[in-house]
Amino acid sequence: MKISIRNLMADRCLPKIEILILLEKVLQKSRTWIIANDLNIISDISFYKYSDLRKRRLDGEPIAYLIGYKEFMSNKFLVNNSVLIPRPETEILVDVAINSIKTLSKPRVLDLGTGCGSIAISICLMRPDADVVGSDVDSESLSVAEINSRKLGANISLINSNWFDCFDINIDKFDLIISNPPYIALLDKHLELGDLRFEPKLALTDGSDGLRHITNIIHNSRNYLNKEAFLWLEHGWNQATEVRDLLKSAGFRNVTSFLDLSGIARVTGGNI
């Protein structure tokens, strides 16, 4: 049976935009080409590849894992099931971080829990003069971050560390520390819904109340920050008040939260 692109586009089980994205992956053609050539017959091999991706998507697997990348800050980042998929709201964290070091020359920046490296690499690309370090407890995540840094031409350092464990309190000082740590509570029902079912639990939950890692970072970061340096954290939709209180209790000044496009506070931090 001969199957055309138009036949596949008529599928009502998936949104058309997702069909196009999967066809881009299978056919290695642009979206514009696919639309303009929808009467083309696809090969049996392409049909079987598309059918496999379609089934996996219908089973709930994230599009980013199926096509192998996610766009973030206008760059394409390699992702697989060993790393968290970058979210649009995390771009707010990058924007806030960049703004906080705009007056500094050659700032030293630490991204804790770097994952695929999207935050650290984005900052490096926007501030090539910065000395950017990305750390993660998971070696597979660091391998993905290394590939992304090479592909995008970002000169960052990558360290295998459980938060600050591998840093020297007497030597390692930073002008900015940022993190998008696991902040979902262990018993949160959202962990069993949507894309989260397929993402690494290590990158999603702290195995406790959602504030364990955030508290650890806030408590220890002062030891690794230069004078007037900033700490910025991404957090859950309902955690802003608690994070602000933690920062103030730890002696941070100018504690502020920033809202996402839905008007929800998602990034909070301050300086010492």
- 268 annotated ligand-binding residue: no
- Is 215 annotated as contributing to ligand binding? no
Query: Do 96 and 123 contact (CB within 8 A), yes or no?
Result: no
Helix count (H) and strand count (E) of the chain? Answer: 10, 9
Q: Is 134 annotated as a binding residue?
A: no
State the Cα–Cα distance between residues 138 and 160, nearest whole angstrom: 7
Say whether 205 counts as a known binding-site residue.
no
181 is in an annotated binding site: yes
Q: Is 136 annotated for ligand binding?
A: yes
84 secondary structure, DSSP code: P
Q: Are 182 and 214 in contact (CB under 8 A)?
A: no
User: Binding residue per annotation — 60?
Assistant: no
68: left (phi over 0), alpha (psi -120 to 50) or beta: left
Task: Confirm whether residue 124 is marked as ligand binding.
Answer: no
Q: In angstroms, rounded to a whole number, what is the distance separating the alpha carbons of residues 42 and 49?
A: 11
**N-to-C CA span, the chain:** 68
Give the containing element (helix H, strand E) for 76.
Answer: strand 75-78
Does residue 160 contact residue 139 with C-beta atoms inside 8 Å?
yes
In 3D space, the residue among 8, 11, 2 whose CA is nearest the CA of residue 44 turns out to be: 2
Q: Is 163 annotated as a binding residue?
A: yes
Binding residues for S-adenosyl-L-methionine: 113-117, 136, 163, 180
Binding residues: 113-117, 136, 163, 180-183
Binding residues for substrate: 180-183
